[in-house]
């Protein structure tokens, strides 16, 4: 239960720091600890890595579909529902 309390307190500090940054008020920026910043940066890096992996997958997928469609003639006719 203490982890939950720590996470709630960290979220409140980061929200206050974000609000201070948006409003250009430096007062709440001092409430953020080094641990808060490290945890936030780790989460941000993980999110960026996940996004990069998804983008790499989509790029490979589009290249594969482009490569196979150039020499492939389909006998399947598409039907449009009206």
Q: Is the pTM of this model over 0.85?
A: no
Alpha helices for 1-82 (secondary structure H): 2-22, 34-70
∠ CA 33-35-37, nearest 5°, is 75
- CA distances to 18, 30, 33, 68 from 26, in Å: 10, 8, 14, 56
Q: Give percent of the chain above pLDDT 70.
A: 77
- pLDDT tens per residue, range 10-35: 888 888 888 888 888 877 677 788 88
- pLDDT: is 77 or 56 the higher one? 56
**Mean pLDDT for all residues in the chain:** 79
CB count within 10 Å of CB 17 equals 20
The CA distances from residue 42 to 5, 38, 72, in Å, are 20, 6, 45
């Amino acid at each position: 239960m203490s982890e939950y309390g720590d996470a709630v307190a960290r979220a409140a500090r980061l929200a206050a720091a974000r609000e201070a940054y948006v409003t250009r008020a430096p007062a709440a920026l001092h409430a953020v600890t080094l641990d808060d910043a490290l945890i936030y940066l780790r989460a941000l890096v993980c999110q960026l890595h996940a996004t990069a992996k998804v983008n790499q997958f989509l790029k490979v997928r589009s290249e594969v579909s482009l490569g196979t469609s150039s020499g492939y003639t389909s006998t399947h006719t598409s039907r449009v529902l009206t």
